[in-house]
Amino acid sequence: MIFITAKFRVKPEYAADWPSITADFTTATRAEPGCLWFDWSRSLDDPNEYVLVEAFTDDDAATHHVTSDHFKSAQQHLPPHLVETPRIVNFKLPQNNWSELGELAV
């Protein structure tokens, strides 16, 4: 799978509304074939920072994502709400789902 984590520093005046600002993009991405997950979280340390954790089945799915109409729309719609260019970590992993954290087994 292609596993991606990105940090978005949102302008303070938009931070509370970020979930609604990204709602259409999020919904469309989650509906893509090959999207395993696309989940936003808000930082506990910085209320203006959101972390996006996303995964796609393979290169074809990731390519479909970044060439989709909703991605192109997000490229225009999201940056005016941001303080800086989002930071990203992107890896290919030989799995297709979350693994259990054995050290904290329940």
Domain ranges of the chain: 2-95
pLDDT at 94: 95
pLDDT at 4: 98
**3-state secondary structure (DSSP) of residue 37:** strand
pLDDT at 20: 98
Residues 93/52/50/7 CA torsion (nearest 10 deg): 50
Helices assigned H by DSSP within the chain? 12-15, 18-21, 23-30, 59-67, 69-77
pTM score, two decimals? Answer: 0.93
Q: Average the pLDDT over 69-95 and give the result.
A: 97
Rounded to an integer, what distance in angstroms lies between the CA atom of residue 81 and that of residue 51?
Answer: 15
pLDDT at 21: 98
Structurally, what CATH architecture does the domain formed by 2-95 represent? 2-Layer Sandwich (3.30)
Encoded tokens for 60:
């074809």
pLDDT in tens, 23-63: 999 999 999 999 999 999 999 999 999 999 999 999 999 99
Mean pLDDT, rounded, of the chain: 97
Instruction: Identify which of 82, 57, 59, 64 has the alpha carbon closest to the alpha carbon of residue 28.
Output: 64
Rounded to an integer, what distance in angstroms lies between the CA atom of residue 34 and that of residue 7?
Answer: 22
Rounded to an integer, what distance in angstroms lies between the CA atom of residue 26 and that of residue 40?
Answer: 9
